[in-house]
Amino acid sequence: MAASALLLAPVTPPTYHRIVSPTLTLPTGTAQAIPVGLLACQRDPLLRQLSTNIVSCTVSQSAPPPSGKNKKGSSNAAAKVPTLEVILHDTVLFPEGGGQPSDVGHITTADDKTWSVLQVKRSGGHAVHYVAVKDTAKDIDSFLPGSHVKVELGDDGYERRYDHMTMHTSQHLLSAVLETKLNLPTLSWSLTTYPQPCYVELPRPVTVEEIFAVQNEANKLVFEGRSVHVEVEELDRAQLPGVQTTETGRAVGKALPEDYTGGVKRVVVIHGVDRNPCCGTHLPSLHNLQLFLLPQTESVARAASSTSTARLYFFAGPRLLAHLGASHAQITSIANTLSCGAPQAPARVVQVTDERRRAEKRAEDVEIELARLLAKQIAHELAASSEEGKEVVTKHVHRTDDASNALGFLNSIAFSLVDAAVSAGKRFVVVLSSSPSAISSTSVNTLLIAGSEGTDAHVKAVGEALKARVGVKGGGKGTRWSGKMVGVWNERKEGAAVEEVLRGVGA
């Protein structure tokens, strides 16, 4: 008989949400909205759906403001479709706040129609759901106050929520360990776009040794599976501590928003580790969190205060798995390209890099030698020139060349040409041009005009003439003028135009 397993959905422990004030209760009347701080998504972060009632519905006068950066599963469709602003008695969809982006999900109304919730924002103490509709005047009839609805995250919404919870709880853990182990406060943090690492901003950089020490300490607490719970009580703003500042005057964290009118003080507690005011959703336990810190910090200059801070990046949960998967795929791809095993890839990269560097040096040496030979050939042809009546001899040389630095190679020829032509005792102006082997309307053709001493005016005149005749864009100084022409170089057209311009030099 084949073995079978029954997978049970995770359940939030009943001790997760704790009302510690004897006078604070949940509003039971369905005509009244439960305030932000006591919402179902905050009482039970693993709850995916909820039956509730509509308190109010109005037509949105404008698209909801962006929910920070574009997060996992979010949509910019709110700016393109008509929306209704719906307030429910209770909700499993978290409104943006505390550094955590809004949830997305669905509302199924009493007429069995399902509507997309693009975003949830806090307004005062209420969670406002921005619901996408086709026709606000017609569809608002599905959202009559008092009517019964089902609100749910859905699979995509829950995946997004789980990612946000994982990173938010990880940030609380990381900030607590940084504070206790290194006496480093967290100035701010950012829940970045999935699957990028999030970061905490610190007053100073941390060393690799400090990073590993913090990571080890945090993951010991993860291994222990420390529990997480939430304590709520009435909000008394007079009793709230002020926002702390660093020695440079930088604020540590943020104060409770002045426009919050929910009347609830909410504290997230990691057992034996941290107590921190927060409105976000958090995992009920540190089990399986597994925090990984990138072993370097990024400095951030603060122009206003002439100081700098440091960002420490971290992964956890789904983002850590995505990072490991992407890193493994990259290493495997590199190893396949280098025809070696993954463990040998770093050493093979070093070997290939060294070989590439030596090959580039050899190519540079060969280019210099070739430039000298070409310069000697051009100098010989200039010396043998029989252009009577001209005080300056001229020549145009065009090359098909796929060099990565075409202008650099033409300059090498020009410098060698000056040395080679001095002994000939003739003044000259030479146009060197170069085109790639594969030509198209977007090909970049390079031109360099070089002259001997005292030909500054001639060089400039040729450059200006080629601007008009060939469409070259460029400029120069003294006996050097360089430019580029985009398009197909045709010797019968562009080459002939260069020759015609040169015939007028020194005549």
DSSP assignment of 271-324? TTTEEEE--S---SB-TT---EEEEEEEEEEETTTTEEEEEEEEE-HHHHHHHH
Vertex 271: Cα angle to 269 and 276 (nearest 5): 25
In terms of residue numbers, what domain contains 268? 161-333
| Same-domain status, 389 and 462 | yes
Structure tokens at 77: 């469709």
Least confident of 163-172, 331-340, 409-418: 409-418
Instruction: Please report the sign of the dihedral spanned by the C-alpha atoms of residue 198, residue 201, residue 202, residue 205.
Output: positive
Structure tokens at 233: 């009580």
Instruction: Please report the sign of the dihedral spanned by the C-alpha atoms of residue 382, residue 384, residue 385, residue 388.
Output: positive
Residue 413 β-bridge partners: none
- pLDDT band of 248, cuts 50, 70, 90: very low
| Same-domain status, 380 and 433 | yes
Task: Give the CATH number, domain containing residue 120.
Answer: 2.40.30.130
Encode pLDDT of 323-338 as tens digits.
999 999 999 999 999 9
Q: Which residue has the tokens 């440091």?
A: 310
pTM: 0.75
| Same-domain status, 95 and 225 | no
pLDDT at 252: 52
Residue 480 to residues 12, 282, 353, 477, 483: CA-CA distances in angstroms?
76, 67, 35, 6, 10
Question: Is pLDDT at 72 greater than 60 in this prediction?
Answer: no
| Same-domain status, 114 and 129 | yes
- CA gap 250, 507 in Å, rounded: 72
- Tell me whether residue 312 is in a domain: yes
At 334, which helix (H) or strand (E)?
helix 317-337
| Same-domain status, 57 and 110 | yes
Structure tokens at 364: 């540079």
DSSP for 91-128, please give it: -SSPPSBTTBPPP-EEEE-TTS-EEEEEEEEEETTEEE
Question: Is pLDDT at 70 greater than 70 in this prediction?
Answer: no
Task: Give the CATH number, domain containing residue 190.
Answer: 3.30.980.10
- pLDDT band of 241, cuts 50, 70, 90: low
CA atoms within 13 A on the CB side of 106: 14
Q: Which residue has the tokens 């404008």?
A: 62
422 or 492, higher pLDDT: 492
Cβ(194)–Cβ(165) under 8 Å?
no
- Tell me whether residue 194 is in a domain: yes
Short-list 105, 121, 97, CA closest to 191: 97
Domain boundary among 124, 156, 188: 156
- CA gap 358, 361 in Å, rounded: 5
- CA gap 462, 449 in Å, rounded: 8
Q: How many domains does the chain have?
A: 3
- CA gap 148, 55 in Å, rounded: 10
| Same-domain status, 391 and 482 | yes
pLDDT at 4: 55
- Tell me whether residue 29 is in a domain: yes
- CA gap 4, 6 in Å, rounded: 7
| Same-domain status, 306 and 171 | yes
- CA gap 66, 119 in Å, rounded: 9
Short-list 201, 180, 82, 181, CA closest to 130: 82
| Residue 119: partners with Cβ closer than 8 Å, 6 or more residues away | 64, 67, 74, 78, 96, 102, 104, 129, 130
| Same-domain status, 380 and 283 | no
- Tell me whether residue 487 is in a domain: yes
| Same-domain status, 150 and 200 | no
Instruction: Please report the beta strands in 3-73, taking only residues with DSSP state E, as ranges in sequence order.
Output: 17-19, 49-59
Question: Is pLDDT at 64 greater than 80 in this prediction?
Answer: no
- Tell me whether residue 268 is in a domain: yes
- pLDDT band of 75, cuts 50, 70, 90: very low
- pLDDT band of 423, cuts 50, 70, 90: low
Cβ(106)–Cβ(75) under 8 Å?
no
| Same-domain status, 323 and 187 | yes
Query: What is the SS3 assignment for 23?
Result: coil
| Same-domain status, 254 and 279 | yes
Structure tokens at 260: 């919050």
Structure tokens at 412: 């090498």
Encode pLDDT of 12-22 as tens digits.
999 999 999 99
Encode pLDDT of 281-290 as tens digits.
999 999 988 8
Domain boundary among 310, 333, 356: 333
- Tell me whether residue 207 is in a domain: yes
| Residue 450: partners with Cβ closer than 8 Å, 6 or more residues away | 414, 417, 418, 429, 430, 432, 459, 479, 480
| Same-domain status, 208 and 258 | yes
Residues 469-478 have a mean pLDDT of: 91
- Tell me whether residue 456 is in a domain: yes
Encode pLDDT of 139-158 as tens digits.
999 999 999 999 999 999 99
- Tell me whether residue 9 is in a domain: no
